[in-house]
Amino acid sequence: MAKIISVHSFRGGTGKSNTTANLAALMASQGLRVAVVDTDIQSPGLHVLFGLRGEDITHSLNDHIWGKIAIREAAIPVLEGQVSGAVFLVPSSVRADDIVQILRQGYDMRMLTSAFRELTEELELDVLLIDTHPGLNEETLFSLAISSAVVIVMRPDQQDYEGTGVTVEVARSLEVPSMALLVNKAPASLDPVALAETVSSTFNCPVLAVQPHSDAMLELGSRGVFALVHPDDPMTESLRSAVRQLLAD
């Protein structure tokens, strides 16, 4: 059975997509076969981190939802030659009319349960990572319900604290087997160890990592996967530790 790990946050811009891409790259660097699915159908962007432009996406999750293609056809191999395992990206379409059509018509996300099973079997996946839209909506509830683990990304910001509490409560009520927090964009003035303790005791939940606000990450500006561009950065080491914890569960 592949592990299904979804990456959530209540508020936007916390670093979900970058976290998803980095976890995938580091898992694949250990030889694992990983798929990343962009379920942020309303505002997709995960493909950018893997060097793809919107117009490069010829087959998307949307096409599968509309019954035009098998999910496997939307899975693009990425990071080839950069990792010893494999990473496949299932992107969402960034075409305006595709996004509008999904928003107008909605879709039955229960179909994704069999799609993810199919993807896991056909690509012989070890891990399936799901990048999500911020906040709570039907898609995020669905992804929580089918996940073996959830990573909730938050900044040390009062609005994030409150919102994270909501997501944690929902994940608990859906009995997600494993849940952990990742604190991102922490200012250098905060002691990371003390911050991790505060966050874990606030939510009664383990903290995978405390990532600093990083100029190198901002400079990269989603043009690549941080862990592969900066393999020796302390932030990459802390992401490796997050991977070890996630895979140990």
Ligand X SMILES: Nc1ncnc2c1ncn2[C@@H]1O[C@H](COP(=O)(O)OP(=O)(O)OP(=O)(O)O)[C@@H](O)[C@H]1O
Tokens 């998803």 appear where? 20
Q: Show contacts with Mg ion in window 13-42 (CB under 5 A).
A: 16-17
CB neighbour list of residue 129: distance below 8 Å, 6 or more residues apart: 5, 6, 7, 20, 23, 24, 34, 35, 36, 37
**Nearest distance, CB of residue 135 and ligand X, angstroms:** 9
Tokens 């087959």 appear where? 59
Between 18 and 29, CB nearer to ligand X? 18
**Nearest distance, CB of residue 53 and ligand X, angstroms:** 16
**Nearest distance, CB of residue 155 and ligand X, angstroms:** 9
Q: How many residues bind ligand X (CB under 6 A)?
A: 21
Phi then psi for residue 63, to 5 deg, are -60, -35
According to DSSP, residue 188 is labeled T
**Nearest distance, CB of residue 122 and ligand X, angstroms:** 27
| Residue 35 near which of Mg ion, ligand X, none (CB within 5-8 Å, type-dependent) | none
Q: Show contacts with ligand X in window 20-59 (CB under 6 A).
A: 40, 43, 45
Phi then psi for residue 246, to 5 deg, are -65, -40
Q: Could you tell me which stretch among 9-17, 118-126, 187-195, 201-209 binds ligand X (CB under 6 A)? A: 9-17
According to DSSP, residue 153 is labeled E
Tokens found for residue 88: 């496949």
Residues in contact with ligand X by CB under 6 A are: 9, 12-18, 40, 43, 45, 134, 184-185, 211, 213-214, 217-218, 221-222
